[in-house]
Amino acid sequence: MTKQKASPTTPCEEIENNHYDAIIIGSGPGGEGAAMNLSKRGQRVAVVERHQDVGGGCTHWGTIPSKALRHSVSRLIDFNNSPLFVEGFHKPRAWTFDQILKQAASVVTKQTRMRAGFYNRNDVDVIHGCAELVDRNTVKVVVEGGTETITADKLLLAPGSRPYRPADIDFSHPRVYDSDTILNLTHHPRHIIIYGAGVIGCEYASIFRGLDCKVTLIDSRERLLSFLDVEISDALSYHLRSSGVMIRHNETYASVVGEDHGVVVNFESGKRLKADALLFANGRTGNTDTLKLDKVGLKANHRGQLEVNEHYQTSVENIYAVGDVIGYPSLASAAYDQGRIAADAIVDGKAEAKLIGNIPTGIYTIPEISSVGKTEQELTAAKIPYEIGQAHFSSLARAQIANAGVGCLKLLFHRETKQILGIHCFGVNASEILHIGQAIMEQEGDANTIEYFVRTTFNYPTMAEAYRVAALNGLNRLF
């Protein structure tokens, strides 16, 4: 067994005492949050991680690499669109997918080293191997060359998730990818089909189109990201299309046929598309299939997910679960908080802390999207009298300076109380801008009204000034 306290390269050594207060399976955000909190509360903790490095899918295949890719492509687009740089160049600068992957790899390395340091400083044992449940207190860790058994009073399952792979698609074909294996892409496709227009699919559509690839985005629904405010969803559709992305709605694949130099996708509608590569990005599955849950009386649903109560406790009293493996909201930020809350429940028997009611979403398309709270559609359905305040980035001095005029900030507030009900942002740095409004939205009483943005003084010129502009715009609509 490989046990580490310092770094992923620490030599193997035997565990002298194999009983812990808690064993955590998975070192992603949920596992890390739980491990850090448990350690600081005096618990002896072991984390079992099946991969060579800590960080989980978030660090190695999901959030970090895809956002690093997106940042590099966004900078390339900014360069090619800036009058300051393009003068004198006869053609736009271009990068290939594998070239920008190198920058993403450097970020992953930095994140991995940093997170390994967290475990080392907090005296958490990191054991590299595949975990299997033996009983409610015992975990068998399978490593190359053998197995080792460890025990604990409490177990926390945070194994994360992986891309959903339908059995009728040959993912071993060199031109068929999922959102993990796409990071192994070595050729630069002239045309890529992205099946699945969820968050991951839309983000990769932006990335590949920014690299001047022909992109066809297949959506099985009527509109993109239907959980978003309709106006924001429509804006995303418009800007993806205006950049050259072909979006096809209400389509379902019938078959995928891999060829020597490409992929053919046949649809139930009778359509047929051919491209150099296919990225299948239609959902994720919890990594519970190898844990042998039946040994402890647990059963995952068809997506590999477990049910938990408000303390992240499963139906087995001493076993908890957090992160993607419990489903919604399936966000790295929320998983970390879930881990910390579950750690309190493990130590105290219950947790006083809860996830905030309005969890923000950040969608790293180009342009970026972020939102928190209610949409117009939800407020209308609930018959809540609301008004809208908007600020278009094109009118902000800071956006004009940065040549970032695409986008807007949209505030939804109660007509009578002026309480902030929802915030929706589309454009550059949307996920950063949103947190200003979120902080006010979470305040108690009169402190969370739209009038705060009129009373306060913002730095000028800043993107944050959009809140004052939007607040005045909304208040002017009242009568």
pLDDT tens profile 319-336: 999 999 999 999 999 999
In Å, what is the CA distance from 393 to each residue of 41, 398, 433? 46, 9, 12
Q: What is the CATH number of the domain that holds 317?
A: 3.50.50.60
pLDDT per residue over 254-302, tens digit each?
999 999 989 999 999 999 999 999 999 999 999 999 999 999 999 999 9
User: Closest Cα to residue 175, out of 158, 164, 163, 189?
Assistant: 189
Shared-domain flag, residues 149 and 35: yes
Q: Domains in the chain: how many in total?
A: 3
Residue 89 pLDDT class (50, 70, 90 cuts): low
Whether residue 3 has pLDDT greater than 60: no
Shared-domain flag, residues 414 and 470: yes
pLDDT per residue over 4-55, tens digit each?
553 333 333 444 578 999 999 999 999 999 999 999 999 999 999 999 999 9
Mean confidence (pLDDT) of the chain: 92
Shared-domain flag, residues 258 and 293: no
Whether residue 2 has pLDDT greater than 60: no
pLDDT per residue over 462-473, tens digit each?
999 999 999 999
Residue 9's pLDDT is what? 34
Whether residue 86 has pLDDT greater than 70: no
pLDDT per residue over 156-173, tens digit each?
999 999 999 999 999 999
Domain assignment present for residue 240? The answer is yes
Query: What percent of the chain lies above the pLDDT cut of 70?
Result: 95
Shared-domain flag, residues 401 and 466: yes
Residue 145's pLDDT is what? 77
Residue 90's pLDDT is what? 58
Domain boundary (262, 282, 302) is at 282
Model confidence, pTM: 0.92
Q: What is the CATH number of the domain that holds 448?
A: 3.30.390.30
Residue 314's pLDDT is what? 98
Shared-domain flag, residues 114 and 192: no
Are 190 and 383 contacting, i.e. CB atoms less than 8 angstroms apart? no
Residue 344's pLDDT is what? 97
Shared-domain flag, residues 119 and 47: yes
Shared-domain flag, residues 273 and 191: yes
Residues forming beta bridges with residue 272, ordered by sequence position: 266
Expressed as residue numbers, the domain containing 190 is 176-282
